[in-house]
Amino acid sequence: MLSPKRKNGKKRLVFQILIALAVFLCFHPLYADSPQRPPINVNIIIDSSAAYAGVRDNIASWVTGRLDRILAQGDMVTVWNAGTSVKIVYSGKIAGDADKEALKKNILEITAAAGNADIASALKQAAGIRGQSYNYTLLISVSQEALSNLLSGSGANMLRYSRTEEFSGWRVFTVGLDLDAKVKRAAAAFPAS
Close Cβ partners of 111 (under 8 Å, ≥ 6 residues apart): 48, 52, 53, 56
Distance (Å, whole) CA 36 – CA 51: 38
The pTM score is 0.74
Strand-pair category, 170-175 with 135-141: antiparallel
Report pLDDT digits (tens) over 158-185: 777 789 999 999 999 998 876 666 666 7
Mean of the pLDDT values across residues 53-78?
Answer: 94
Report pLDDT digits (tens) over 95-116: 999 999 999 999 999 999 888 8
Distance (Å, whole) CA 139 – CA 186: 26
pLDDT, greater one: 120 or 105: 105
Distance (Å, whole) CA 40 – CA 135: 6
- pLDDT classification of 28: cutoffs 50, 70, 90: very low
Per-residue pLDDT at 49 exceeds 90: yes
Per-residue pLDDT at 81 exceeds 60: yes
pLDDT (0 to 100) of residue 108: 95
- Give the ranges where 71-191 is alpha helix by DSSP (H): 97-108, 119-127, 144-152, 179-189
